[in-house]
Chain A
Amino acid sequence: MVVVPALLADDRRDHVARYARGALQAADAIGRIPTPLDEVNAALHLIPPQELFDLGDAPPGLIRRLRRLTGKVKGAFAIRERVIYLDPEQPAPQRRFVHGHEIGHGALPWHPDAYYCDDRHTLDPDTANELEAEASAFSADLLFNLDTFTEQAHASKIGLAPAIELADTFATSRHAAIRRYVEDSPRPAALLVLGRFPVQSAGAPALRILHTLESRSFRHRYGPIEACYPGHLPIGEYPMARDAVKALRGCLATPIITGEVTVDSTSRGKATLDYEIYSNTYLCFILLTPHRRLTVGPSVRAAWNS
Chain B
Amino acid sequence: MSPAELGAYLKNVRDTAGLTLRDVEEKTAGVVKNGYLSQIENGAINRPSPGILYELARVYGVSYRLLLVGAGHRVPEEDVPPDQRAIADLPLRAFAGLDAEDRQALIEYAAFLKQRKKGR
Contacts and interface: CB of A to CB of B under 8 A. Distances in A.
A72 B108 contact: no
A1 B51 contact: no
Interface in A134-172: 134-135
Contact of B51 (A12, A57, A73, A80): A12
A130 interface: yes
Contacts of A296: none
B72 to A, nearest CB: 6
Interface stretch (B8-16, B19-27, B38-46, B75-83): B75-83
Given A113-B64, A121-B75, A123-B86, A1 B108 contact: no
A209 B72 CA distance: 32
Contacts of B31: 11, 15, 18
Contacts of A253: none
A62 B86 contact: no
A80 B116 CA distance: 15
Contact of A117 (B49, B50, B74): B74
A126 to B, nearest CB: 9
B90 to A, nearest CB: 5
Contact of B84 (A66, A108, A125): A125
A69 B102 contact: yes
B84 to A, nearest CB: 5
In this complex, the interface size class of chain B, counting residues with CB under 8 Å from chain A, is 35 or more
B47 to A, nearest CB: 9
A12 B53 CA distance: 12
A113 B66 CA distance: 10
Nearest to A9: B49
B64 A128 contact: no
Interface of B is mostly: helix
Nearest to A8: B49
A17 to B, nearest CB: 11
A127 B89 contact: no
A117 B75 CA distance: 11
Nearest to A81: B117
Interface in A82-132: 105, 108-111, 113-117, 119-125, 127-132
A46 interface: no
A2 B96 CA distance: 7
A110 B116 contact: no
Interface string A2-43: 101000000110011010000000000000000000000000
Given A58-B112, A110-B51, A122-B80, A2 B74 contact: no
Contacts of B29: 18
Contact of B91 (A65, A105, A109, A110): A105
Interface in A35-80: 53, 57-59, 62, 65-66, 68-69, 72-73, 76-80
Contacts of A135: 91
A78 B89 contact: yes
B50 A114 contact: yes
Contacts of A53: 109
Contact of B93 (A117, A119, A132): A132
A73 B76 CA distance: 26
A114 B105 contact: no
Contact of A62 (B77, B91, B109): B109
Nearest to B33: A11
A59 B69 CA distance: 38
B71 to A, nearest CB: 9
A113 B77 contact: no
A127 B73 contact: yes
Given A113-B68, A120-B76, A68 B92 contact: no
Contacts of A18: 29, 31
